[in-house]
Structure formats: C-alpha cells, structure tokens
Amino acid sequence: MEKNESKAMSIVSRRGIFYQSFGIYKEIGGFYDYGPVGVRIRRNIENAWRRLFVDMLQAIEIESSSIMPEAVFEASGHLSTFTDPMTKCKVCNTPYRADKLLESFYEKKHDYKSMEEVKKLSLEELDRKIREHGIKCEKCGGELGKVEKFNLMFQLKIGPTGSETGYLRPETAQGIFVDFRDLFKTQGLKMPALIAQVGKSYRNEISPRQQLVRMREFTQMELELFFDPEEEEKDIGFIELEKVLDTKISFIKSGEEEAIKASLKELLESKSIPNKYFALLLYLENRLMQEIGFDEKAYRFRELEKEELPHYSKGNVDLEVNTEYGFIEVAGNAYRTDYDLSSHARVSGVEITVVNNGRKFVPHVVEASMGLDRLLFSIIENSVVSGDREWDWLRLKESIAPYKYAVFPLQKDDKLLKKARELAKMLVEKGVSAYYSDSGSIGKRYAKADEIGVPYCITIDYQTLEDDTVTIRNRDDSKQIRKGIAELLSSS
C-alpha cells in the first residue's frame, strides 16, 4: 500500500466522508462535519472500542454534561495550566502555536533532533529560537510578537444574566471524576472500579490544521480505572492480567529515539510503565488497533519525556500512528494518581473517598483517552490502495467498513430491480449493513463501493431469477463467486 494523503483526501472529498463545517460561510478552522459514510465508519470504530474497553472489562458507561462551572476547572488545574504557547503577527494579527512553527521550521531542514527538542523548550526559549531563525508570519511575512501562554478552553456565561462562568469541557474525564462519588454509591462499585465515556470535547486551538488532526470540537473515548494503590492488581472483567503481560508492542522509551519491540512485562520491569493496570490499557489499545485494521508497523507507543507530562500525571505513554504528517498521537495514557479526586474534594468541600479492605482512602486512577476523529483520519490514510485498478480504494477491515454489502441489479429491468431490493431488505432486517443502488453502470457502482471500503458487492442478474443464486464480488481481489441467496442469508 502506498500512503498518499492527496489520494486519501481525494476519496474523502469525492465521497463526502467528512468536510469543513458551515462551508457556505466564511471558513472557521477546526470544525468538521461527517457525511453518511464517515458517520458509519466512526460508529463502527466507536463500537469496536466499546466492546474492548467497556464490555470486556465490564466497565460502566456514562454521559456527562459538556458544559461545566468554573470551579470544576479550578480544581482540575485547567484554568492555570491548560495552555499552549502562542505568538501573533504584529502586522496582520494572525495567531500561531509557537512550538508548531519551530517544529515545521526544523522539519523542512530535516533537523529531526532539534524538532524533538522543541517539546522541552520554555516560553522564553521558544521566543528566542523564533528570533534566532528569523521565522516570520506565514501569511504576510510580518514580524512575530512575544510568545505567551494561551488558555485553550472555550469560556461562556451561564444563565440569562451571565452571572455564572462556565466552560466547554476540554476532556470528558472531568465528568467522570465529578460523578465518581455518586456512581460509586449508586452502582455498587468496588475496587478496581472502571468508568467509561464517549463524548464531545472542545479546545480553542490557536491554529487548527491538518484536517481531523487538530480540531476545536472532537470526540474522545475515555476509560478511567480507579484502584487501591496498596492492593495487588487483580484480573478485570474477562481479562487475565498475567496473560496480558506477554504481549509485545513497539515502544519508544523516554530519552530514546528508536522504537524497540518489548513485552509489557519487560516494560513494567524497566519502569517504563507504572503498574499492571496501565499495562492492561496498552494491551487493549494494541488489540483495538489490530482489530480495526492497522498494520502493526503503522503505529507505536511512546513514553513521554518529563517536560511533556501534563500537570496531573506521574507517567504518560502516547499511542502514535504514522501518517503523511509524521507520527500523530491518537491516544494518551496517564497515571493520574489521586490528583483529580483529591482536588475536586478540596475545592468542593465534599469528601470523595472509598473503603476497601477496611481502609479509607482516595483511589488512584489510570486513564486511557483515545481520539475518535484522529483514529478515523489515520485509518483512512493507512487504507488507501492505488495502482491495481483504475480507481483508488479503501481496504477497510470488515468490522469498520460502512457497509458489509452493496446490492446491485445488473440492469434496470423491473424484475431485477424488485429482486435486488428484496434481497437488500432481507439483509437489513437480519441486522446486516447493506445498501442498494441501481444508479450508473455496474462498473461505476463497483468503483464507488470500493472507494468507500465495502467488502462485498452482490449482483442480481437474470440467472438469479432462474435459480435464486447471486454473484458476490470480493473488494480486495475483485474475484467473483456464485452463491445461493438462502446460503448467503444464513451465513451473513
């Protein structure tokens, strides 16, 4: 497979998989809408995540509010620390993320070592480097201003008088933390306790770019695993922890540049990951990536440097996928200790503790946070196939393809049309994803189905009317077989 962003984005644009929001008006970056194909792929990725992180772990799932009062983010630390370094053009006032400007500068010079070092630079050092290299505004060539902190949260006023200040949540995790006390009581939770959530988050990015890679509104899939730090780790749900530890993953240790192949047990022993529950999260993410169709060479796990760690974390590992933009983060795993629950208890004045083995304490938590939009973007780019037919197409795994079947009548003959519609209806009634089309030549219909990643095309022809058999075309090799409708329905 040849990775080619322009070919991937050509398919995305032509088939309306996703596109810029409110496109008929002046463009505002960082917002994207999904067309019908994109919605289906997204939903299938989300469901694959839910099977592993909710069903396999027997976690509970919630939906919390997207709008939260200021006190929540005072406690979480987002008011003071959730910032990016920003510089503005002194001439046209265009804002830029200072670190991304520098990274782009070094990348063009193929100075990848300096590019990596940017993550460790302070505001003052970023400012100095921009001056030293003479980096100017990309839009007008003007001089850039001083690098300063910019808080990424969207602020809003609550109520008709605006007397209460609120924010759109920058992560779904805080909803889980503020609900933890009530959930623990009402749901009969015990240690370890697992709470999941899928939902929208909002970050007022300084300079959103690269399609779904840097958005202002995006979807997170998060799991918070609460545990007793003094209790030995135990099996969770339907997963045996000791068996998980034999899993080997591609991993970059802190301070290293090259990935190694290491087992989760080895990474635990070298203290690259903090505990077995953290190892469990990496195992599940590795499994998810394979189940939704990523080649194991396309992604890696990376231990964050101390300078990169969020304010709440005692250890972070990112999951990164290789794309046209280099390796991009699609998941963040963090050991948040008891930071969040303790902070919310302090600010709210409400005790948040549990009793386990006769001991009262504030639980610790490890977190897996995955970006649904980035996963969709990167799997599309990594699935483009070119050169084997007259059109580019997506080799999507059946589990995330928008439809399993496309049903086509060979010609616009009333008898064929009726039979094809009846078959499509029977498939849908069985719960099998299928769509019907009689528009255009059969070749063009095959091409469209290939482009959006449909694994199988079923053609109704005149032989079907005689013996109730159909032609089934395989997307990956274009080979066709003949099968009876009854057999098709029973095996679908």
DSSP string, 310-365: -TT-S-EEEEEEEETTEEEEEEEEEEEETHHHHHHHHHH-----EEETTEEEPPEE
Higher model confidence: residue 13 or residue 310? Answer: 13
pTM: 0.92
- The answer to whether residue 210 scores a pLDDT higher than 90 is no
Assign domain 5-69+169-384 to its CATH architecture: 2-Layer Sandwich (3.30)
Q: How far is CA 236 from CA 276, 280, 328, 334, 485, in A?
A: 11, 9, 30, 19, 43
Residue 110 in tokens: 């193929």
Percent pLDDT > 90 in the chain is 84
Each domain of the chain, given as residue ranges in start order, spans 5-69+169-384, 86-151, 403-491
User: Cα(39)–Cα(219) distance, rounded to whole angstroms?
Assistant: 12
> 341, 229 in Cβ contact below 8 A?
no
pLDDT tens digits for range 77-110: 999 888 999 999 999 999 999 998 999 899 888 8
Q: Which CATH code fits 86-151?
A: 3.30.40.230
Confidence of residue 26 (pLDDT cuts 50, 70, 90): confident
First to last CA, the chain: 29
List Cβ neighbours of 415 (8 Å cut-off, separation of 6 or more): 465
- Kindly indicate whether the domain formed by 403-491 is annotated with CATH number 3.90.440.10: no
- In the prediction, which pLDDT does 208 show? 87
User: Cα(448)–Cα(436) distance, rounded to whole angstroms?
Assistant: 12
pLDDT tens digits for range 358-370: 999 999 999 999 9
Give the full edge-to-edge strand order of the sheet including 67-69.
67-69, 164-168, 155-158
Confidence of residue 23 (pLDDT cuts 50, 70, 90): confident
